[in-house]
Structure 1
Amino acid sequence: MDYKDAGVDVEAGRAFVTQIRNLVHSTFRPEVLGGLGGFSGCFQLPTGFKEPVLVSGTDGVGTKLKIAQVLNCHDTVGIDLVGMCVNDVLTSGAEPLFFLDYLATGKLDKEQLTQVVAGIASGCKQAGCALLGGETAEMPGFYQVGEYDLAGFCVGIVEKSQLLDGSQVQVGDVAIALASSGVHSNGYSLVRKIISDRGFSWSEQPELLGGKTLGETFLTPTRIYVKPVLAARQAGLEIHGMAHITGGGLPENLPRCLGQGQAIQIDTNSWVIPPVFQWLAEVGLVSPQAMYNTFNMGIGFVLLVPPQQAQQAISHFESQNIAAYAIGEVITGSGELVGIPD
């Protein structure tokens, strides 16, 4: 017997690397040293920093992958993978420099996984970071044929004096919410349970969703906020804190960017909640409390800015075609979020 008899096709793996080479190279920044195929990726630190701080983050896509695999649509989940990592790194004020991916599958399908990597490359371009390398693992018996899982890792950089750590946040700062593109990549175990238990198919087109199928709606990729937020900072917007609204929604994530002795008061009537969340709540009979603790409710990212700069922030992001809303302010407290249904 040989490795191929055991279900691992080494030659297919080599062919896959060749097939994705151009996709990977299309993301390279000037600081990348070497090319694809080594044991490691090399990246030279950008110049111009006095006290550079490296900021790292890692994440996956979760059970949203199940929908992609059922629908045989694999070109968006790579964007989700990048988005979940780079948006986290951004909250420290860091510019993402490079990204690494880990892709595990039961049997290597070059066409399927090339679509996945194309999505990862697209996400890296949106974030301005290089896809520096990755690992593809063929694991027969661990994953079924057609199944795969994704994990990602990102490194960014920020000047130490510009690092956001909660100490800059002041009572009275205004919370500026940036609209999500939809459900992003959290809460999909509940999404899939609602679809399954209520007997829906992914091809159905509920009227509330404006003609989109359930598959299209729930495969909409995570919005990447890196370039618009960094541009706002470079334009002089004073940002005291940032939060990426992921698993646990606003209640879990928004307080994470506060300083000691602070809380945040929000008004849930201050932004437009997209129809997809109304549909999930109605069809799944999900309570308002559970909705806010599971989903982003239309807000993918939040910035804390001085009150005199709130309108400047909103105007900047609207000029970038991102809806923005003033949804509340920082108050004294003990790290709680006030104003969410309980």
Structure 2
Amino acid sequence: VLGGLGGFGGLFQLPSGYTEPVLVSGTDGVGTKLKIAQALNRHNTIGIDLVAMCVNDVLTCGAEPLFFLDYLATGKLQPQQLAEVVAGIVEGCRLSRCALLGGETAEMPGFYPKGEYDVAGFCVGIVEKSKLLNGSQVEVGDVAIALGSQGVHSNGFSLVRKIIETQGFKWEDCPSGLGGQSLGEVLLTPTQIYVKPVLDALRSDLTIHAMAHITGGGLPENLPRCLGQNQSIQIQPHSWEVLPIFRWLAEVGQVNETAMLETFNMGVGFVVLAPPDQAATTIRYFQSQNLPAYAIGQVIEGNGTLVFA
């Protein structure tokens, strides 16, 4: 990072050691998860979600996040609320090993209801061109290795809120099967940041051919995005641990399995594709990093779809 605070633009000098550096950008928000944070007046994890949604996307290309910027808009600034959100962003950047280069706070009276705000994040990463993961390295037979999520992460909250509101639950309720936590606590669990373990894996002797961040649309929509031409991916149902919150939402909301898989991450936050002879070693590595890891399927010949075995 170059320069100090208060400038019109953030300055960042690219790290040395790259022959053909490629910059990778990403931008995202946290959707209607904000509604729960605002209802409970708990904002300290939203910033982590915001960083995670951006850096995990950039990571799928094999890129190391360099810097992050944020945008927060509200009707009237509330200092404590803002401080909590920014503290979460700082923590997210620390976990991602990237710099918080700048941000913008917009006060827009009459545009947002009292106490409400919206946030967006922007991330730039870097990768050597020869190490860029773009689907071209994927081979038929590659094993899909799922890395566990910490919860609902930052997608599907419109359906979450519909289920809870229509069934008469409150965010403070503690249904059985959720480990004694309230619905609000479980649902505000921040999005897992996969940067450190994944980058360390890429820099090791492990071979990873592609990666996918499982966000809105779940496995069916996101996993095929990392494939090469004339390829599909076959997934074994029930080959990973589905977190209790998803089982609860499905039961209470009477949501069928297909709709759940097409809406939520269902316990899988990130997927890496590895050669079959390295799958077991790769799984053991991620488990050693305190990440649940499961072999859930393999790449097959096809037309860019996800199929269940």
Scaled to the shorter chain, the TM-score interval is over 0.9
CA RMSD of aligned residues (A): 0.7
Q: Which amino acid aligns with 1:243?
A: A
Amino acid at match of 1:47: S
Q: 1:109 and 2:48 equivalent? A: no
- Partner of 2:84: helix, strand, or coil? helix
1:92 paired residue among 40, 61, 64: 61
Q: Which residue is 1:232 aligned to? A: 201
Q: Could you tell me which residue of structure 2 aligns to residue 317 of structure 1?
A: 286
Per-residue CA shift, 1:179-214, capped at 9, x if unaligned?
A: 000000000000001110001011111111110100
2:11 aligned partner: 42
Q: Which SS does the other structure have where 2:16 is aligned?
A: coil
Deviation track 1:237-286 (CA, whole Å, cap 9, x = no partner) reads 11100000000000000000000000000112211111110000000010
Aligned mates of 2:213, 2:237 — CA distance in 1: 17
1:212 aligns with 2:184: no
Superposed, 1:11-90 pairs within 5 Å as 32-90=1-59
- For 1:137 and 1:228, the matched residues in 2 are separated by 35
Residue 145 of structure 1, CA deviation: 1.6
Rounded Cα–Cα distance in structure 2 between residues aligned with 1:242 and 1:145: 40
**Counterpart of 2:262?**
293
Specify the SS of the correspondent of 1:335: coil
Of 166, 175, 190 in structure 2, the residue corresponding to residue 221 of structure 1 is: 190
Code of the residue aligned with 2:85 in structure 1: it is V
Matched with 1:191 is 160
Give yes or no for the alignment of 1:281 onto 2:250. Answer: yes
Q: 1:170 aligns with which of 135, 139, 142?
A: 139
Letter in 1 for 2:228: G
Percentage of pairs with the same residue = 72
- Counterparts of 1:134 and 1:332, CA distance in 2: 45
Separation in 2 of the partners of 1:144 and 1:35? 34
Match of 1:155 among 121, 124, 127: 124
Name the stretch that deviates more: 149-158 or 202-211. 202-211
Q: Following the alignment from structure 2 to structure 1, what is the Cα–Cα distance between the partners of residues 205 and 57? A: 22
The Cα offsets for residues 306-325 of structure 1, whole Å up to 9 and x where unpaired, read as: 00111111111111100000
Q: Give structure 1 stretches of 5+ with no counterpart.
A: 1-31
Shift of 1:36: 2.1
Quick one: which amino acid aligns to residue 129 of structure 2? K
Residue correspondences, number: 309
Task: Select 2:113's aligned residue among 127, 144, 155.
Answer: 144
Query: Displacement of 1:217 after TM fit?
Result: 0.4
Secondary structure of 1:200's aligned partner: coil
- Tell me the TM-score normalised to structure 2 length: 0.99
Which amino acid in 2 is paired with 1:58?
T
Secondary structure in structure 2 of the residue aligned to 1:142: coil
State how far apart, in whole Å, the 2-side matches of 1:311 and 1:297 are: 22
AA aligned to 2:246 is F
- Runs of 4+ with >2 A deviation: none
- Unpaired runs of at least 5, structure 2: none
Aligned residue identity for 1:334? N
Which structure has the larger Rg?
Answer: 1
Deviations 1:84-134 (A, max 9, x none): 000000000000000000000110011110100000000000000000000
For 1:133, what is the secondary structure of its paired residue?
A: strand
Give the SS at the match of 1:141. Answer: coil
Match of 2:73, SS state, is strand
Q: Which residue number corresponds to residue 272 of structure 1?
A: 241
Q: Distance in 1 between matches of 2:237 and 2:94?
A: 33
Q: Aligned equivalents of 2:16 and 2:276: distance in 1?
A: 34
